[in-house]
Amino acid sequence: MSIQSVAAILGEAGDLSGYAHGNALLRHAGLKLAEASSGKWKGQISISKRGRHALFMATMALIMNDVSFKRQHEVNVKMKNMKPMRSVMKLCGKLARLLVAMAHSGEAYEPDRAHSIKQTA
């Protein structure tokens, strides 16, 4: 993740150690999946609010550039049959939880520890 991404997230969210959990950061960012559906008809899944998007953009950059996020996205889409946007939103939640946990503990990001992918037989 670039310095600009971190600065944008901190600029939008403030001190991350003030959040009790990563889900609180997601709520603050307004990132939540919404699906327009009625009865048997299922509509397009999209982000409900787009006001603050630094966390979303940082996740997209990580999916493109970080091996562990890219691998997790591929597992979500190909093996778990998730729609790509749902996988991105799931990884947004993962990034939010990682950032808040790192702010609380003071530890650096360790990809091997942060992303444990279960191997399927």
- Residue-range domain boundaries for the chain: 3-114
Return the H-helix or E-strand segment holding 35. strand 33-38
Q: What is the pLDDT of residue 51?
A: 43
Q: What is the pLDDT of residue 14?
A: 84
Does the predicted TM-score (pTM) go above 0.85?
no
Q: What is the mean pLDDT of each run of 10 residues along the chain (121 residues)?
A: 82 85 78 62 58 80 92 94 90 89 86 56 36
Q: What is the pLDDT of residue 85?
A: 87
DSSP H helical ranges for the chain: 3-13, 22-29, 54-65, 67-74, 84-105, 111-114
What's the rounded Cα separation, in Å, for the pair 55 and 91? 10
pLDDT tens across 32-65, in order? 555 566 666 666 655 555 546 788 889 999 999 9
Residue 110, amino acid? E
Q: What is the pLDDT of residue 81?
A: 93
